[in-house]
Amino acid sequence: MLIGARLENFRAGARWWLVSLPARVATLTVAFLAVVGGVIFVVAHYLLGGPPTVDFTAASSGQVNMTMQSDASSNPAVVPDHPTWVSYFIKSPATGAWVHTTLFQVPAHTRINVTILGYDGSTPVRNQVWGQVSGTIGDIARYGKIPVRTVNGWNGPFLIQHTFAIPSLNLSVPVEAGPATCTTGPCTNNAHSTTTFSFVTPAQPGAYRWQCFVPCGLSFLLGNGGPMQTIGYMTGNMQVVS
Amino acid sequence: MAIDIQPDRAEAPGGRGPGAPRPARAWWLRPAIHTGIIGAVLGYFLGHWLGNYIASGYTQVVNSGQNDFAIILGYVLGTVGWLAGLGVFNDLGRQIAGRPVHAAEEAQAASSGLARYFRYSLDHKVVGIQYLVGMIGYFLTGGLLAMAIRTELLSPSYHVFSSATYTAIVGEHGTMMMMMMSSIILGPLGNYLVPLMIGSKRMAFPRIEALSFWLTPAAYIVLLSGLMFGGFPFGWTGYAPLSVQATQGADAYAVAFGLMGLSLILLGFNLIVTIICYRAPGMRWSRIPIFVWAIMTTSFLMVLAAPVLVGAMYMLITDRTVQTAFFTDSLGGSSYLWQNLFWFFGHPEVYILALPGFGIVCEILPVFCRKPLFGYRVAAAGMVGVTLLSFFVWQHHLFDSGINPDMRPVFMLTTELISIPTGFIFLVGLGTFWKAKIRFTVPMLFALGFYFNFLIGGISGVFLSDVPADTTEHGTFFVMAHFHYTIMGGLIFAFMGGLYYWLPKIMGIRLNQTLGKIQFWTMFVFFNSTFLPLFAVGMAGQPRRVYTYARSLETLNDWVSISSFLLGVSILIFLANFVYSTVITRVREEGNPWRSRGLEWQVASPPPPGNFARVPVVLSGPYEYGVPDAPPVADLDPPLGVLSNADASVVAEGAEA
Amino acid sequence: MAATEAAVSADAQRREPNHGLRIFLIWLPVALAADLIIWFVWGPHMPPGDMSSSASGQQFDINVMAVMAAPVMAFILIYAGYALVVWRHREGDEEDGPPIHGNTRIAATWIGVTAALVLGLFVFGTVQLVVPAGAGSGEGNTPIWKPSGGTPLQVQVIGQQWRWTYRYPQFGGFESTSLVLPVGENVQFNVTSLDVIHSFWAYQLGVKADANPGINNVAYTKPEHTGQVQVRCAELCGLWHADMTTLGQVVSTSAFKAWAASSRVQLAALTRNLPPYALTYDPNSVAQLGKAFRQAGLSGAGGQYYGSQYPVQP
């Protein structure tokens, strides 16, 4: 009877503050908790997420071998977000599986031997400065077995598909263009190019960003959008731990 | 008559007379937020489907993996659906169909109850409170984003967020604040108080006023949805070509800002017409409260500047979708076009943010000094001067951009000149203090805080207007400190002061004064300890919008971050006070607790529907404190025929709906 | 009776202190002290330092403005503080204050003084901008305030997402990621971008010039001391805006010449690959595009950077 009367009041839009004090406090508390819950959800889901970090710090031989591949586009089953974007993959040292990430962790003051399998075709670099190998051991990189120092990405004889550059270490290596493009990354059986180089990680721990300098973001203005600006595709972080 | 109206016939069985009230339907059947949400969802899916249908085969869509057409059409049709669900177009539809519009009865039926605050209400007081709650919500959201920014800046080497997320958060914070806070005073206090202050029973265009409010939740949701898409990496300034290059979050930015620009235009337009045309008899220009002067000048800024913003956003959208090249230099466009269009709006925008604060402070000061406002004409002239000059200074944001070097001394001159009318506010304030009887109530404390903060903000603006000095200061935390001092230290402090001052009028309850004083002191101390060091941080070389910085600046940044968390706590104290006082304790505050002479204080708190029983005749200005034998501010019950040639029914009932 | 009353009120009037004089007497020493501290103690350490002509010019400008601002701020704060103490409401006094609506003389004085200050600052700022060859700020592609004394050292600053490169046309046009400058010589920075808007900010040199795509933005300075130069990007340009930094060097003239010569040799192979030195580089018509480009199917007509089916192509 009382509840019916209250409902009638409510339906008629009666003055809500005649609702009792405990009811008001309860409603406020519920609303407050809902807002806090919403904020935590947004932060956890949208702000703190990100691709996984491949950990190379367990290497015991004093050197780290890292294998990556670059693909023209990815298999939507493996990469549900933006499968049409060019992307790097990193091979996990523990499991040997290809992980869709550009974040990796290495020990400080260690030699890193990098092998990049290139499954993408050529895109010319905009600024030819990035066709020069710098910051590696011996200042060279190898395309297959051939050592290269300066690559003309516009005219050849070697063509470039991407670069791997860590600007704060002055490391920049152009990655050779593959003989064909593979569009269902991560790829294993297709024809590809092989670029190898080595560098030494610095003593100071921290996050060192790395990026590609070839504007390969197709259908973005001047090629620099999309995968070029999204961590997990063509740019990422090298975390150096002591 | 071209329109054939079929009135209901009283004689027909079951019919009603033409003037009889319509039967009230149940609340869930009348259009309100719930139908608006349904409309929004339907509209969004329709737009998204349409965009996919049109564009999913385009090369640029296939390769980039994002369909900007679908997103933008989804947002736009979603907004249309939201408005349609709220019933915004119902009256328009009725007039097109030639059917009677029952606005008066609707207003009567909706004069009580909580439900009217969730509807498309034509009562300006309801819209004012809707705006108030909305603006507080948007401000708190922007504030949370600011807390996230300062958390990231605690350390230059340990990163809580990735660089992309941090840049997105910075953009969301800036855009949320700059977009939403443009209306933080005009929306709630302007809409609520202007008719009361000028002696009017209503606003000129109630439907436009309500529409301007209901666009804001749409803009807010659209902007936040950008976070779901990874945000946008270009801050609130949206410089092209980065904004053309960016991924989907940029669409959210462009649509949200465009919607908010529309809301600004409508809000300002309604206020201007109301102030010019709906003043009560005797309310001469020399008697309108200075707050109304501020509202009117700000409204002119909104109406004249916001269209440029909407145009710029539209160009950005076409650049991103249909491959126009307005902002692409290599194809005949220019990156300078965006900068100039944006800042042509952007500079009046910051005066849209500053002027209402001036108005509130000039309104509060005479009441708590018990003296007339010193130099009323100077204050009004200052506001008009700022409004005029603010259209001539925008290139000071572009001093280092490579604009024609001849223009820089010109804009340095205009920027220096605008500090003259801006300084009038200090003349007026200091003059009002002279031999006054100053009471340190909570609103007065906030007004004093305004003066302190705006002094620092204004002087730092002079440093920025000097082109050689600006070479080091531009794009650094110095600029950030400057505009936070003027906008947050100015506008937000004034907003808080205005809220404490006018809430007894608006809701008939008083906010807890002890909590108010605690809030003021914590907010003032922590605001200054947060933003004062940022001048030094900027001059020491830290650019804006960076997630990492030189190690030598870590201590300063940590101090600033901790202060900002405490500042956030003080805002929470405000929220707690607001909610506690309005929902839990509800201490009634009748009459005129501040003994103000303002016309709005001469009616009941909260004011009755229609504000005044009869349109008052204004007899003197609102600042005549200390004047012996000053006439009362207005005659609220004027005899009919008091003005020759006045239509008695007009005086009795106010202007026709 | 009337005489006593008149005497009492005259007494009261005489006892009413001269507030204006009191405020002035409090303000004067504070303003003087502040100005002296700012000019002599703080001034020599004021950012951005004095490593170059434009930096020391800016340091001087900021000092002058601070010296002018301090008395203004002191006046307003002292007046307000005085008012809040002396004219606060006393318990039990329910009267209103005196009905002063305005004072034309005071208002006119205020407007006159602020206008004079502001216009003086304008003249000062213009002189300080024009005389030191643009004060280190970007003057666009038709600079009108240039340093005297022949052609300055040309350094082209190329901004791209997200690294600065520097090209030295007077030394064969080699392009390097290092910024090295000789002390005591005028330097002309030609700043341009390859993609979005960046901003070249050499902090210790007091130089800031936006890098716009397709536009050449010229800024001048003259380094006066050797040392390190922090170069940062001052316009949000995307993901790694915060990391777009260079640690530049100002060295002696001989060290600079040696570095330029050795870089020229070291980078000779690379320089052959670069397009000829130009003030701007259009990304959509890249010279020397060769057969491989067309082979890869990425070229539209006329050697465009992307084929015509990609966006933003004519």
> What tens digit of pLDDT does each residue of B111-149 get?
567 778 888 988 899 999 999 999 999 999 999 999 999
d(CA B453, CA B490): 6
The highest-confidence range among A55-64, A150-159, B486-495, by mean pLDDT, is B486-495
Distance (Å, whole) CA A202 – CA B137: 47
pLDDT band at B294 (very low <50, low <70, confident <90, very high): very high
Q: Which pLDDT belongs to residue B13?
A: 52
Q: Which helix (H) or strand (E) holds B573?
A: helix B554-579
Tell whether A109 and A148 lie within a shared domain. Answer: yes
Measured from the Cβ of residue B332, the count of other Cβ atoms closer than 10 Å reads 9
* Most confident range, picked from B159-168, B560-569, B632-641: B560-569
CA distances from B134 to B79, B209, B520 (A): 17, 14, 22
A163 and A88 in a single domain? The answer is yes
Tell me whether residues A167 and C162 touch, CB distance under 8 A.
yes
* CATH number assigned to the domain comprising residue C261: 2.60.40.420
| Residue-wise pLDDT tens digits, B212-228 | 999 999 999 999 999 98
Q: What angle do CA B422, B426, B430 make, to 5 degrees?
A: 165
C269 within some domain:
yes
Per DSSP bridges, beta strands C163-168 and C153-160 are antiparallel
Kindly state whether residues A201 and A157 are assigned to the same domain.
yes
Does residue A15 share a domain with residue A68?
no
Give the model confidence (pLDDT) of A168-201 as tens digits: 999 999 999 888 888 887 888 888 899 999 999 9
For residue C303, tell me if it sits in a domain. Answer: no
> Which residues of chain B does C236 touch, with a Cβ-Cβ cutoff of 8 Å?
167, 233-235, 237, 239, 242, 544-545
Inform me whether the pLDDT recorded for B418 exceeds 90: yes
pLDDT at A158: 86
pLDDT digits (tens, 9 = 90+) for B33-42: 999 999 999 9
DSSP-derived secondary structure letter, B30: S
Most confident of A1-10, B93-102, C33-42: C33-42
Q: pLDDT tens across B350-369, in order?
A: 999 999 999 999 999 999 99
Residue B123: how many CA atoms within 13 Å on its side-chain side? 22
Alpha carbons B173 and B606: distance in angstroms, whole number: 34
Q: Check residue B23 and give its pLDDT.
A: 61
Q: Is residue C114 domain-shared with residue C169, that is, in the same domain?
A: no
Alpha helix stretches (DSSP H) within B236-289: 242-245, 249-277
Q: Are residues A7 and A84 in the same domain?
A: no
Q: Please give the residue range of the domain that contains residue C38.
A: 17-87+108-131
Distance between CA atoms of residues B586 and B509, nearest Å: 6
Closest-CA distance of chain C to residue B414, Å = 9
Number of domains chain A is built from: 2
pLDDT band for position B3 (50/70/90)?
low
Among A30-39, B102-111, B434-443, B528-537, the range scoring the smallest mean pLDDT is B102-111
Residues A58 and A108 in one domain: yes
Whole-number pLDDT of residue A8: 52
Please report, for chain B, the start and end positions of each structural domain, with discontinuous segments joined by +.
Answer: 30-103, 121-585
Contact B448 C101 (CB under 8 A): no
B50 CB-side CA count, 13 A: 13
User: A150 to chain C: which residues are within 8 Å by CB?
Assistant: 269-270, 273
Residues near C174 by beta carbon (within 8 Å), at least 6 away in sequence: C167, C168, C263, C264, C267, C268, C270, C271
Question: How close is the nearest chain C Cα to the Cα of B553, in Å?
Answer: 14
Mutation test of the interface with chain B: which of A39, A209, A220, A221, choosing the one with the most B Cβ atoms within 10 A? A221
pLDDT band at C4 (very low <50, low <70, confident <90, very high): low
Total domains in chain C come to 2
CB B385 within 8 A of CB B421: yes
For residue C233, list chain B residues with Cβ-Cβ distance below 8 A: 543
C112 & C205 share domain? no
Inter-chain residue contact A155 with C243, CB threshold 8 Å: no
For the residues A59-86, what does the mean pLDDT come to?
Answer: 87
C142 occurs within a structural domain = no
In a domain, residue C301? The reply is no
Q: Residue A19 belongs to what domain range?
A: 2-47
Residues of chain C that touch chain A, judged by Cβ-Cβ distance less than 8 Å: 158, 160-163, 165, 175, 177, 194-196, 213, 238-240, 243, 267, 269-270, 273-275, 283, 286, 288-293, 296, 298, 305-306, 310-312
Q: Do A209 and B165 touch (CB under 8 A)?
A: no
State the average pLDDT over residues B300-313. 96
Element (H, E) at B127: helix B124-152
What was the pLDDT predicted at B591?
81
CB atoms within 10 A of CB A147: 14
Whether residues A126 and A193 fall in one domain: yes
Question: What is the β-pairing status of strands A63-71 and C187-193?
Answer: unpaired
SS3 helix, strand, coil % of chain B, rounded to 5?
Answer: 65, 0, 30
**A31 and A83 both lie in a single domain:** no
- For the segment C206-234, the average pLDDT, to the nearest whole number, is 94
C121/B416 touch (CB, cutoff 8 Å), yes or no: yes
How many Cα atoms occupy the beta-carbon half-sphere of B351 within 13 Å? 35
Question: What is the DSSP code (8-state) at residue A185?
Answer: B
C120 and C221 belong to one structural domain: no
Question: Hey, CA dihedral for B387, B388, B391, B397, is it positive or negative?
Answer: negative
For residues C25 and C115, membership in a common domain is answered with yes
Say which residues have a Cβ less than 8 Å from residue B126's Cβ, sequence separation at least 6.
B110, B116, B117
Q: Residue written as tokens 């045309």?
A: B277
Query: Does residue B381 surpass a pLDDT of 50?
Result: yes
pLDDT of residue B65: 83
φ, ψ of residue A200 to 5 degrees: the values are: -110, 130
A227 in reach of chain B (CB within 8 A): no
The model's pTM is 0.91
**Shared-domain flag, residues C67 and C164:** no
- What distance in Å separates the CA atoms of residue A112 and residue A95, rounded to the nearest whole number? 19
pLDDT tier for residue C299 given thresholds of 50, 70 and 90? very low
Phi, psi of C246, deg, nearest 5: -135, 145
pLDDT classification of C300: cutoffs 50, 70, 90: very low
State how far residue A194 is from chain B, nearest Cα, in angstroms.
26
Q: Please, how many CA atoms are within 13 Å of residue B586, restricted to the half-sphere of its CB?
A: 11
Give percent of chain C with pLDDT exceeding 90. Answer: 66
Q: Closest approach of chain B CAs to the CA of C221, in angstroms?
A: 12
Beta bridge mates, A150 = A132
Q: Are residues A146 and A213 in the same domain?
A: yes
Number of B:C CB contacts under 8 A?
312
Domain boundary among C96, C131, C166: C131
- CATH among 1.20.210.10, 3.40.50.620, 2.60.120.10, 3.20.20.70 for B121-585: 1.20.210.10
Helix (H, G, I), strand (E, B) or coil at B649: helix
pLDDT of amino acid C313: 41
pLDDT (mean) for A85-112: 92
Sign of the alpha-carbon dihedral angle for C35, C39, C42, C47: positive
Residue B239 has pLDDT above 90, yes or no: yes
pLDDT value at position B656? 38
- Which is it for the CA torsion B551, B553, B556, B557, positive or negative? negative
Q: Tell me: the pLDDT tens digits for B6-22?
A: 555 444 455 455 555 55
Question: What is the residue-averaged pLDDT of chain B?
Answer: 90
- Indicate the DSSP class of residue A222: G
- Does residue B630 sit in helix, strand or coil? coil
Partner-chain contact C199 B475, CB within 8 Å: yes
Q: Are residues A110 and A215 in the same domain?
A: yes
Q: Which of B431-440, B632-641, C128-137 has the lowest mean pLDDT?
A: B632-641
Average pLDDT over chain C, rounded to an integer? 87
Q: What is the ipTM of this complex?
A: 0.90
Length of chain B: 657
Quick check: B353 and C78 in contact, CB under 8 A?
Answer: no
pLDDT at B1: 44
Q: What percent of chain B has pLDDT over 90?
A: 70
Identify the CA nearest to C126 among candidates B406, B473, B606, A85: B406
Q: Read off φ and ψ for residue B656, nearest 5 degrees.
A: -65, 150
**What residues pair up with B646 in beta bridges, in sequence order?**
none
